[in-house]
Amino acid sequence: MSFDSVCKFIAETFTADLATWLLGEPVELARLEPTELLSSPIYADSLVLLESKDLVLQIEFQVEPKAEIPFRMTDYAVRGFRRFPNKRVRQVVIYLRRSQSPLVYQNTFERDGIRHEFEVIRIWEVPAAQFQGLPGLLPFAVLAQTGDRERTLRQVSERIEAIGDRGQRGDVAASAAILAGLVLEKGLIRSVLREDVMKESVIYQEIVSTAEERGRNEGILEGKLEGKREGRLEEGLSLILRQLKRRFELASELQQQIESLSLDSLEELGEELLDFSSEDNLAAWLQGRR
C-alpha cells in the first residue's frame, strides 16, 4: 500500500478529524467518488473528495512534488464548479516529505489570462502538537515539525494505546507505522508501535494479503525461470556430450566433471570445444574451471 493510499484511507475513515484540522471545525463530510469529477481518475490513489451541503473539499496527498499539480488542481476545480455549481470548492495539496524543490511552494496556476489558486500544506512546517489531539491525525505527527521524531513517535504510540475502540486503534497504529517509514528506520518503528495492535487494522491485513500474493507470484515466476534454466542446462549438456563423444572416447571422469558444470560454463565449453584436438585439451580446460 502506497503512502498516498494510506493518507486517503485516513481521510475517508476519520473525516471529522481531518475537517477539524483543515476547516477548523468538525464539519460532517461525505465521501465523493473521483468519478464525480473525472471520467477516468488516473490519480485516484492520492485524490480525496469529500462534500458537505455547501462545500466540496478536495485533498491531494503527495510524497514528491510534481510539476503538473497546479494544472491538475485547476482542472479539478473547473470540473467541481460545473458538477456542484452551488457549492464552494476548497482544494488542499499536502506534501508529506520534506523537499527543497520550489514546486512544494507553488499554489497558483497561471496561463493565458487564467489564474487559479489553491492551498498548499508542507506538513514538516506544521507543529507536531497539532496532530496529537485527535486519533485520525496521529499518523501525521511524526512527519510534522518536531525536534525529536523518535520521541514524537513514542508519544503517538502512547496516545494510540489509549484509544478504546480496537479496530480504530489498529487502523491508527498501522497508518502511523506506514507514514513513519518516510522519516524513520523500520527497526525503530517496529520497536515502538506494537504489531499485535496493528493486526486489528484493515490496512495491516491488506498489506499482509498483498505481500502473500506478491510472494506467491514471485514464487511462481521464480519456478518458471528455474524450470527454463534447467531445460536449457539439460539440452546444452546433451548436445555437448554428443559432440565430444563423436570426436574422441570420453572418459567417465571427464563426463562427470562436465555434468557438474553450470549453464554459463557449459555455454563457454560449447564455444571452446571446436578448438580441442584431443581429450587432453578437454581435461586441461576442465582443470582450469576448478
pLDDT at 254: 78
What confidence tens digit (pLDDT) does each residue in 61-86 have? Answer: 999 999 999 998 998 899 889 889 99
Q: Which residues contact 62 (CB under 8 A, 6 or more apart)?
A: 4, 46, 69, 93, 94, 95, 96
Tell me the whole-structure pTM to 2 decimals.
0.67
pLDDT at 118: 97
Q: How far is residue 265's CA from residue 289's CA, in Å, rounded to a whole number?
A: 8
Query: Which residues in the chain land under pLDDT 70?
Result: 1, 34-46, 197-233, 236, 263, 271, 274, 289-290
| Cross-strand bridge partners of residue 91 | 58
Q: Assess contact for 2 and 45: CB atoms under 8 A.
A: yes
* Burial grade of 212 (CB within 10 A; 0-12, 13-18, 19 or more): exposed
pLDDT at 206: 55
Domain ranges of the chain: 1-125, 224-288
